[in-house]
Chains A and B, each alone.
Chain A
């Protein structure tokens, strides 16, 4: 534990990923201290999801190294939780909400072992935290978009990780779900977990996150929100339009 405290939660060195000839992310260097709530923001096609997937070894890297709490991914896997984009799966798959949440424990169970009563209880506890415990036996095809997202969140919670990666959890969800997610993020943060969130809504970055990485193929800036989330950096990331699009809020953030 002492060792995990002293190391950054995530260290990325010279990470490059290319789809065909074009780099999707280029020469990424990143140090994320343990215990921060970090937003990854940037325009469409900036490589935000690619960054997460490359860090988690889900897509091949052209170059670069990644470590979690000073360990390579293979040895730190149990410390890592993941919430993929909601649209990445077929929600007509024959499974209940409880089934899907229990899937978060499959990795820990290892080969051949089946989930039992203990796993069921853990999954129900996670569903309680996201306010879906009444939906445990519901078919996933009957869920609304927000409920799907909370199901995914519960599945990540049962992983009981030290560092979480969430790919656009706030995309197209209702207000209740957004509140639920924010509450979960804060709870995780209070328990000392590190959370990295791909985020689209610039208005809420300063309110929800204490750390931010601005990404547009390369890392434009990364650090505490107050110092990093400035109009200048945003313009470097998004181009000049950003001030007129999101004027009031952002100017306030950069003035502080």
Chain B
């Protein structure tokens, strides 16, 4: 039952984040209007819409790149699109669709090239990616330089594919992104379980008759298509950020693949839209980089704050662990000393307890004092009634753990990882603890 409650708490958290993001997005429009006098002109609306849609698609697909540890492959693929743009321009002139098709072909060829390098040589993946990324990109830059030397004036703006140029986006581009994006999302929904299984365990998928090669190629092709769609906006260098940042951020908040993909899509759409709006404030703010900055702000927030996996969370947990540990150790020392000197509430000299406990002693004493388990009086520290009770309970718990270690197998008790800092009763079912208690009593009898 507790497991079920925990699951629904997770679900609620995801919906809360989605609601918060939606709220912030809604507020940004009046906020930017009132504070910065931003006018939502036709151009701004088109760019913001294009940015959010692109972010949505790349966020959803990027999850798979992140989970397959192929983030860098995404980077290589987007860099590799540049020579395709240049060659397409030389062959077909400055029309968007041939340029994008050229980009897609170059990017896809680089994908096959990486695969071929890995299959036929002893290169490791990082080296293969480095080679392809640098050489394809260099070829692209060289071709662009050559194009610029041609006297024909129509080449202007081709280098915008390097960093992206949102202002150039027109309504038909957004329609293209939406149309292709819709197809990508449909494929993702239809082949959901195949993508999931191949990503988690390709060997098992293969043994179950799922065409791993086909699914892998399809997934990579979808990623290439997404990259190509984003080139105008984000450019070949930054596109990888749009692809992986939303997935990385989303992974922090959930343990379910479907929630992760939805959340990444929401994060991506938010970054795309908000980045576009911010960059519209001033013509000097570039759109692509701004979108990426927003996306990585979400990554930072998620890495810091997400419950369970976030930095803040683990820092807090560490601190409370350290306190509990110091308190427990100090209590044991006090109890042992007092027993050795006559009675459980015999005074323990302050200098002794600080001497044996080192730095932890001060922390432990403060904790115990605060909880009313010890009091400083004549001759030193004395355990209160609650302190004695706590010390006895701790010792009993340790004895139960000792018994568990010795007899768990013989008594066929459930297998749990030994964690002596915790009450054994919180880890084992009640029947098992009763069996241990009996065994302990039996052992103590003679």
Closest to B201 in A: A89
Interface range on chain B: under 10, 10 to 19, 20 to 34, or 35 or more? 35 or more
Which chain B residues (330-375) contact chain A, with CB distance < 8 Å? none
Q: With a CB–CB cut-off of 8 A, which chain B residues contact A165?
A: 207
B207 touches A144 (CB 8 A): no
A177 touches B415 (CB 8 A): yes
Candidates A94, A112, A141, A144; contact of B190 at CB < 8 Å: A112
- Chain B: minimal CB distance from A172 (Å): 14
Give CA–CA (A176, B404) in the complex, Å: 14
Q: With a CB–CB cut-off of 8 A, which chain B residues contact A155?
A: 204
A56 touches B257 (CB 8 A): no
Q: With a CB–CB cut-off of 8 A, which chain B residues contact A134?
A: 3
A106 touches B210 (CB 8 A): yes
Which chain B residues (184-236) contact chain A, with CB distance < 8 Å? 190-194, 196-197, 199-201, 203-210
- Chain A: minimal CB distance from B309 (Å): 10
A139 touches B210 (CB 8 A): no
Q: With a CB–CB cut-off of 8 A, which chain B residues contact A57?
A: 206
Give CA–CA (A136, B191) in the complex, Å: 24
Closest to A89 in B: B201
A103 touches B414 (CB 8 A): no
Interface SS of chain A: mixed
Q: With a CB–CB cut-off of 8 A, which chain B residues contact A78?
A: 209
B208 touches A94 (CB 8 A): no
A106 touches B208 (CB 8 A): yes
Contact with B along A167-184 (1 / 0, CB 8 A): 000000011110000000
A77 touches B203 (CB 8 A): no
Contact with A along B59-92 (1 / 0, CB 8 A): 0000000010100000000000000000000000
A107 touches B415 (CB 8 A): no
Which chain B residues (219-267) contact chain A, with CB distance < 8 Å? 251, 254-257, 259-260
A58 touches B210 (CB 8 A): no
- Chain A: minimal CB distance from B29 (Å): 33
Q: B417 at interface (Cβ–Cβ under 8 A)? A: yes
Give CA–CA (A176, B199) in the complex, Å: 30
A106 touches B260 (CB 8 A): no
Give CA–CA (A100, B196) in the complex, Å: 10
9 contacts between A and B (CB under 8 A): A89-B200, A89-B201, A94-B257, A94-B260, A95-B255, A103-B193, A107-B209, A144-B415, A176-B414
